[in-house]
Structure formats: C-alpha cells, structure tokens
Structure 1
Amino acid sequence: MSERILDTQGWQEEAQAIINDVKDHVKLIEVSKHLQSTDSRIYLNVETLENARYTFELTVQGFRFCGDSFDSNNLENDNYFETPYALLNSVSPSFKNSFMDVLFQKLNYCK
C-alpha cells in the first residue's frame, strides 16, 4: 500500500489549512522553502510562543518532529501525532493555553 494519498498541490492545501488553524497560537508557521515536499509529505517550520524552532513533517501517518531548527531533517523519530494540536501541545505549554483561551472565549460567546 502506497503512502501517496494527495498530489503535491493537495499537500500544499492541507498545509495551508493547518497553518490557518494554528497560526494564532504560535509565533510563526510556514511551509519549508528548503526541504522538498513531495506527493507523500510536506515540511512545516514552526516557532513556538516560547521561541523554540522546529521542523515537522506531515505524512499520511500523521505529524512528527523531524528537525530541531527551521528547515532541518536531523531527528530520527517514529513518534507520530494524529493532529498538529497534539504535536504542538507536546512541546509548547503556551500553545495549549492560547488554544484553550480562544476556545473558552468562543464557548462563552455562544451562551
């Protein structure tokens, strides 16, 4: 069974949706301009609110940290997360707090 479920454009669209979802809870998130995306993966650079910089990879298996700086693929790890939220929660307490604050405000607004 092949990992390929999206074409390159599909991965770009998926990455943009993720960026739009989490951009208010990180300092920076963008598609890597230096690591080659393919029809089976795309790389995103993220800077957390704590100023930590990472590269993570999105594949059909999920999200995983692959670099300890922007545009890097220097970490060997098979620890995949199902969502970008779970991945970012694992390294950024401020991400979790920011995300929960916005959710709480939206829930209160609905009352």
Structure 2
Amino acid sequence: METSASQHNTLGPDENSIKVMAVEAEAALQDIRFAVDSVAVSTTLPSRQDIVYMNIKTKEAEELCIELSVSGYRIVATQYDSINKAPLSQYYETIYALLDNRSPGYRLSFGEALVGKLKDLQEDRCAEMTTQSQS
C-alpha cells in the first residue's frame, strides 16, 4: 500500500505555514545580523499562518517591530513587541530594502561588508594569477 507525502507529514497545514514563515523570518534576520544592533523573532506577539513579527534594533538604536507577511515586510511599531493601529510604513519586498530606507547605519555596514568581500575576491584573483604565472 502506498502512502502519500501528506500522510508522512506530522504538522497540519496551518502549522506548516507558520513554520515556513518563521524559517523565512529567521533566515532574513541571520542575513542582516551583521548590520544591526540586535534581531529576534518576537516571542510575545503570536505568529500566525500568514504573519511573523520581528524585533530589530538599528545601528541608530531605534527599536522596530517588523511584520513579515505574504505582502512583504513593514514596520508596525517603533517599540519591540508592539503593533500600532496605523501602519508606520509601506510594504517592502525584502528586509534589506526596508532597512536601506530606514537606517543609514545599515547602509554603511552593508557597504563596508560589500567592500570587504570585493577586496577578498580581488586578493584571491591576484593570488590565483600569481600561482598560474609561476607554473
């Protein structure tokens, strides 16, 4: 007797969706960790099938509560674990675009990291060329 993939799944549809959103939120937070003062998924605000809340402190020491939904990322409060009645920003397709618009310190850190990676690539290329010319 064959079993379907869904029979092997131990999570219900809503739990799977929540898990997917939480994984996406965690991945985004890991990507920006170097360019902000602190980041975490909110443990106070409830995650739902279509929404996860994140707390971020920018390099300027601004606390932001950010909503991640199928519409994108948006700031919902300038205090951790809070939601203002009126949204504080438009939706952004990526967390990078939101922070680029909101935090000069993020832009600076991102630029410095990019320059560092480009220098590393240049050094690797120079070392490779030196090795090839000695062969």
RMSD (CA atoms): 1.5
The 1-side partners of 2:71 and 2:47 are apart by 15
Tell me whether 1:8 sits opposite 2:34 in the alignment. no
Structure 1: 5+ residue stretches without partners: none
**TM-score, scaled to structure 2:** 0.75
Q: What letter corresponds to residue 49 of structure 1 in structure 2?
A: K
Report the count of equivalent residues: 107
Mapped to 2, the partners of 1:28 and 1:75 lie a distance apart of 25
The 3 A distance-change label for structure 1 pair 88 and 75 is farther
Q: List structure 1 segments (4+ residues) > 4 angstroms apart after TM superposition.
A: none
Q: Percent identity?
A: 33
The two structures have a TM-score, normalised by structure 1, of 0.90
Name whichever structure is richer in helix by fraction: 2
Equivalence for 1:28: 38
Contact 1:65 1:75 in 2 (8 A): no
Match for residue 82 of structure 2 among 68, 72, 75: 72
Whose relative contact order is higher, 1 or 2, with alpha carbons under 8 Å and at least 6 apart? 1
Larger radius of gyration: 2
CA distance in structure 2 between the partners assigned to 1:75 and 1:53 by the alignment = 17
